[in-house]
Structure 1
Amino acid sequence: MANLSPPPGKTFVVEHLDPELEAWSSLEYYTIASECHNSGAKFLLSSVPKSLKLPANLQHVQGLTVETRGIEDIYTDKKDRVCLLDPAASQDLSPEDGETFEIFLFGGILGDDPPRDRTSELRKKGYQGRRLGPVQMTTDTAVRVTRIVVQDKVAVEQVPYIDHPELKINKNESTQMPFRYVKGNDGRPIMPDGMLDLIKKDSEKSLDDLF
């Protein structure tokens, strides 16, 4: 009898390139872990310093594996199966890449504005690179888009996006986000739970600093 079970989900790796873990990063990582778990994929947070204490929301979330080792040590025998999501790559990610690669690597922190090319540290290691289009994404958005392309087989340019959305802080203030997001079923940008509150809090803090 033919095996009709779906192919196993992919592994998504964020190489954590910071000595600390900011509140917004923990929200993004929680979202990545939850979405990967729900879609049959795995999420690995690598190169986490031993001195780094994970925040409460990441200590028991399903779908997350935390490693102090870096990507090279974890997948020494699978380098050709690792795809680096690289804004400087010459080729866009395609659904066919889901057949070629099983591990998709992201250099944190992707959501810098302006981008600081943190991925260059991983590029030097010689992994094959693919791009997710021309617009900067947050880390959770980059993983979400990659998963949609390689697991759901949707071309990267056919994913519904919202670029640089304007978020209302209060009745008088709004802020424009410098990133690309996936558009949700409600027509709004998909963001981690709690991120909007964090953005509002940061914006209010910045406004207070002006006075």
Structure 2
Amino acid sequence: MSKSKTFIVEHLDPELEEWSSLEYAAIASESQSAGVSFFLSSVPPALKLPENLAGVQGLQIEHRGVEEIYHDKKASVCLLDPAAKEELSPEDGDRFDVFLFGGILGDDPPRDRTSELRKKGFEGRRLGPVQMTTDTAVRVTRMIVQGRKPVPLDKIPFVDNPEFKVDDHESTEMPFRYVTDGKGNPVMPAGMLDLIKKDSERGFGDLL
């Protein structure tokens, strides 16, 4: 498992919302630190990246779709698919070189966006039964398949549906599963809490 992996998020929206840009920036930063490659594929040529993504280290932009890129190497690609029957395991780090994610994984309720990639014939694995944000899914996958000491899925510390205080009187619940840090707090992209608080009055659905 010493070979560096490639992580690809197939961008499935015509636009790139602030919510997604924070997640992608977090993935890029962590990928850079981990020494792995991170591609954002199917990016429309006319799409202007927000400031926090323009030129960010660790992010590679690809206008082609993953099906075109890996048309002759599909067996090397693992699709992280909530509908897959088999859980991702450390052994999959030996079997696959590329790990593919369909953005946006963090829909609430889930809209099965990954079905668009499932139809293309990539072999699938899942990350448990609870919905994750895109950056969490990439983080968990990297923990399982990359590095000197891969961590099995059932050994990763998670928190489900964490609540965050918006002000002195209100809180909001995030309907996703997150990896926790050493203090039991959910690991989230920089700036995400501020975005949650800013948009809480409009309702969580407006974030997506």
TMscore range, shorter length: over 0.9
Alignment-mate amino acid for residue 203 of structure 1: S
CA contact (8 A) 1:8 1:40 kept: no
Alignment-mate amino acid for residue 191 of structure 1: M
CA contact (8 A) 2:27 2:135 kept: yes
Aligned to 2:4: 9
Which one of 157, 173, 182 corresponds to residue 160 of structure 1? 157
Which one of 101, 105, 117 corresponds to residue 106 of structure 1? 101
Aligned to 2:64: 69
Shift of 1:61: 1.0
Which one of 132, 138, 155 corresponds to residue 127 of structure 2? 132
TM-score, normalising length: structure 2: 0.94
Which one of 155, 158, 174 corresponds to residue 171 of structure 2? 174
Aligned to 1:200: 197
CA contact (8 A) 2:90 2:152 kept: yes
CA contact (8 A) 2:127 2:137 kept: yes
Counterpart-to-counterpart distance in 1, 2:70 and 2:97: 11
Counterpart-to-counterpart distance in 2, 1:77 and 1:124: 16
SS of residue in 2 equivalent to 1:112: coil
Counterpart-to-counterpart distance in 2, 1:182 and 1:147: 12
The answer to whether the aligner puts 1:81 opposite 2:108 as a matched pair is no
The answer to whether the aligner puts 1:28 opposite 2:30 as a matched pair is no
The answer to whether the aligner puts 1:48 opposite 2:43 as a matched pair is yes
Alignment-mate amino acid for residue 3 of structure 2: P
- Could you tell which deviates more after superposition, 84-93 or 73-82? 73-82
Shift of 1:91: 0.2
SS of residue in 1 equivalent to 2:53: helix
SS of residue in 1 equivalent to 2:52: helix
Which one of 183, 188, 196 corresponds to residue 191 of structure 1? 188
Structure of greater Rg: 1
The answer to whether the aligner puts 1:145 opposite 2:159 as a matched pair is no
Counterpart-to-counterpart distance in 1, 2:203 and 2:106: 19
TM-score, normalising length: structure 1: 0.93
Q: RMSD of the alignment, in Å?
A: 1.3
Aligned length: 202
Gaps of 5+ in 2: none
Shift of 1:59: 1.0
Gaps of 5+ in 1: 1-5
Shift of 1:206: 4.2
CA contact (8 A) 2:158 2:177 kept: yes
CA contact (8 A) 2:2 2:146 kept: no
Q: Percent identity of the aligned residues?
A: 68
Which one of 99, 116, 121 corresponds to residue 116 of structure 2? 121
Counterpart-to-counterpart distance in 1, 2:203 and 2:159: 25
Alignment-mate amino acid for residue 97 of structure 1: D
Aligned to 2:33: 38
Counterpart-to-counterpart distance in 2, 1:206 and 1:115: 17
